[in-house]
Structure 1
Amino acid sequence: IVTNMAAGGSSELCEAALNTAPHLIQFLESQNLALVDQSAWALGNIAADGPKFRDRLKDNGVLPPLIKLLDSKDLNLVQTACFALSNLARGEGAQQEALVKAGLVKPLLHHLRVDTVTVISEAAWVVVYLTSGPENVSTQLLEHRLIPLLVAPLKDFLDQKALAIPLVRALGNIASGPDNNTSALINEPGFLPAMLQFIQSDCRPVKKESLWLMSNITADHTGKDLIKVIDAGFIPVLSQIASHQNFDIRKEAAYSLINLASHGPDYAKALPHRELLPGFLDFMRTKDHELISLGLRYVQLLLNSGIQDAPALLSEMNGVDALEEVILSDDRDQHRLASLLMDTYFGENNHGSRVPTPIPGTPDPSGHSTNGGSNLNPSSLGSSVDPSNLPPQYLKRASMSAI
Structure 2
Amino acid sequence: MSVQKKKKKLKRLREHVEGCFSDDVKRNFESCTYIRKLLANDDKMPTDQIIASGVVKRLVDFCRADLPADLQLEAAWALTNIVSGDAEHTASVIRENGIPALVNLLETTKSNDVFEQALWALGNISGDSAECRNLVLNAGALDKLIPRLHSLQKSGNEKHLELLGTGCWVLSNFCRGKPPPPPPMIAKCIAGLLSFLVIRNDAILQDAAWGRR
CA distance in 1, matches of 2:79, 2:71: 14
1:268 CA displacement: 6.5
Q: In the alignment, which of 280, 292, 295 is matched to residue 205 of structure 2?
A: 292
CA distance in 2, matches of 1:275, 1:226: 18
Amino acid corresponding to residue 196 of structure 2 in structure 1 = F
Match of 1:219 in 2: 127
CA distance in 1, matches of 2:17, 2:189: 43
1:112 CA displacement: 0.8
1:2-401 maps to which residues of 2 (within 5 A)? 94=1, 100-102=6-8, 103-133=11-41, 134-155=43-64, 158-189=66-97, 191-200=98-107, 201-220=109-128, 222-245=129-152, 246-264=160-178, 266-267=180-181, 269=183, 270-271=185-186, 272-273=188-189, 275-283=191-199, 286=200, 288-300=201-213
8 A contact 2:84–2:124 mirrored in 1:
yes
Partner SS state of residue 149, structure 1: helix
8 A contact 1:108–1:123 mirrored in 2:
yes
Q: Structure 2 length normalisation: TM-score?
A: 0.81
CA distance in 2, matches of 1:203, 1:176: 23
Cα deviations by residue, 1:246-275 (Å, 9 ceiling, x for unpaired): 432222222222112111363163131563
Would the alpha carbon gap of residues 99 and 199 (structure 1) be closer, same or farther in structure 2, given more than 3 Å must change?
farther
8 A contact 1:158–1:198 mirrored in 2:
no
CA distance in 2, matches of 1:135, 1:223: 28
Q: Structure 1 length normalisation: TM-score?
A: 0.45
Q: How many residue pairs were aligned?
A: 200
CA distance in 2, matches of 1:207, 1:277: 18
8 A contact 1:169–1:213 mirrored in 2:
yes
8 A contact 1:161–1:206 mirrored in 2:
yes
1:98 CA displacement: 6.4
CA distance in 2, matches of 1:217, 1:204: 20
Amino acid corresponding to residue 229 of structure 1 in structure 2 = V
CA distance in 2, matches of 1:147, 1:127: 10
8 A contact 1:243–1:250 mirrored in 2:
no
8 A contact 1:174–1:181 mirrored in 2:
yes
CA distance in 2, matches of 1:276, 1:99: 49
Amino-acid identity (%): 18
CA distance in 2, matches of 1:254, 1:177: 22
Cα deviations by residue, 1:166-199 (Å, 9 ceiling, x for unpaired): 111111111111122112212213x223212212
Cα deviations by residue, 1:131-159 (Å, 9 ceiling, x for unpaired): 0124452222122123123123432x644
8 A contact 2:168–2:193 mirrored in 1:
no
1:295 CA displacement: 2.1
CA distance in 2, matches of 1:112, 1:151: 11
Amino acid corresponding to residue 209 of structure 2 in structure 1 = L
Match of 2:157 in 1: none
Partner SS state of residue 114, structure 1: coil
Cα deviations by residue, 1:297-332 (Å, 9 ceiling, x for unpaired): 1232xxxxxxxxxxxxxxxxxxxxxxxxxxxxxxxx
8 A contact 1:161–1:203 mirrored in 2:
yes
1:160 CA displacement: 1.3
Would the alpha carbon gap of residues 274 and 123 (structure 1) be closer, same or farther in structure 2, given more than 3 Å must change?
closer
CA distance in 2, matches of 1:135, 1:256: 26
1:123 CA displacement: 0.8
8 A contact 2:125–2:132 mirrored in 1:
no
Question: Unaligned stretches of 5+ in structure 1?
Answer: 1-93, 301-403
Question: Unaligned stretches of 5+ in structure 2?
Answer: 153-159
User: If you compute each CA radius of gyration, which structure gives the higher value, 1 or 2?
Assistant: 1
1:290 CA displacement: 1.8
Would the alpha carbon gap of residues 148 and 163 (structure 1) be closer, same or farther in structure 2, given more than 3 Å must change?
closer
CA distance in 2, matches of 1:212, 1:98: 35
Would the alpha carbon gap of residues 110 and 172 (structure 1) be closer, same or farther in structure 2, given more than 3 Å must change?
same
Would the alpha carbon gap of residues 98 and 139 (structure 1) be closer, same or farther in structure 2, given more than 3 Å must change?
farther
Amino acid corresponding to residue 110 of structure 2 in structure 1 = D
> Which protein has greater RCO, CA pairs closer than 8 Å, 6+ apart?
2
